[in-house]
Amino acid sequence: MDVHAHKLAAPALPQCIETSLCRDHLKGFCRNGDACSQSHAIYRVVNEAQSPAASTPTSSTSNTLRVSPRLSPKDDSLFDHDGPGRLSINGPRHDNDHVVIRNIQILPTADEILAHRPPYMPYKDFHLPHFLGAGQQRLLDTLFRQLRYDSTEAIIDACYHACQKLTAFLTNQSTMLDINDVRQDTPNGTRYHLFLDVAFEELIFDEMKGILVRVSFACPSFLRGRRMHSSGFFEDGMLLALLGLDNLDTGLSLTFFETHLRESTDAMQSRGGKGVRGKFWIFTSVPQDLMYCSCRTVVVRPARESGRSTSDSILLKGHP
């Protein structure tokens, strides 16, 4: 089964440059109301220096999930030096491979996680080739790419490993996933926590956080009851990755969230939790993902009636 990055329909909202809109309205309130000389219309705000072609590069090869373990090479092939994005001889590596660093999304995309080619990394030595001339821009470009790699490589490694486990479960009926086996280690030594049977329960609006989503999951036995509050799981501000797989087109969907408030299994009793489902509140880490939430909920399914305590969705719990 070829698993690739899930392709969502383009947003229907028209694009508009931020400088042409009312700044107070963008912040939430404009005192001038209808008398304001600037636009209050609803648009999808884009960066003035970001063109549609630069924002969504198309990978030259189809990035799909592989059965073999994702191992980091021990030699110089860890990075690619032939240029970023369209400047590479073989074309963009994935949909987040940009030439201009301000167009790069900090958190990895699904296509970036599945990418087969090593990431672009410029040389530190200023005497070696670089697509930018010597100066501050080259220094900033180099430092940004190095810092981002150090910050996101563990996330990419954990998500790739979890996707392999999810795919193995869907394609092999003998594969079982235990809700109590939350601690996972990748072949590269990255440790993460895996929670199963994820479901969206409720949406509310918070004045400080924006849209909050109540999420429930199959709670491991060691976190049930009040033990959730004394554990180090789901503390405020932790990064979570919601990973889902669409059976229709084998598309991998990925959304990053931050935790806001954790609640014990007792709080789910009135919603049919039966003492085995925990919950917490989350808000999206990437603002533009809000418009995609309604699309991505379709890949979140309840546990199968066969008794398997899992679903097609996996929640990855990361460290803050």
Looking at per-residue pLDDT, the higher value among 113 and 19 belongs to 113
Amino acid (1-letter code) at residue 68: S
For 217-268, what is each residue's pLDDT tens digit? Answer: 888 888 888 888 888 888 888 888 888 876 555 678 888 888 888 888 877 6
For residue 274, give both structure tokens.
């039966």
Instruction: Please report which helix (H) or strand (E) contains residue 55, including its range.
Output: helix 52-55
What does pTM read for this prediction?
Answer: 0.73
- Structure-token pair, residue 47: 């960066």
pLDDT in tens, 308-318: 333 334 454 43
User: Is the pLDDT score of 209 beyond 50?
Assistant: yes
Helix (H) or strand (E) holding 23: helix 23-27
- Separation CA 179–CA 122 (nearest Å): 42
The predicted pLDDT at position 293 comes to 42
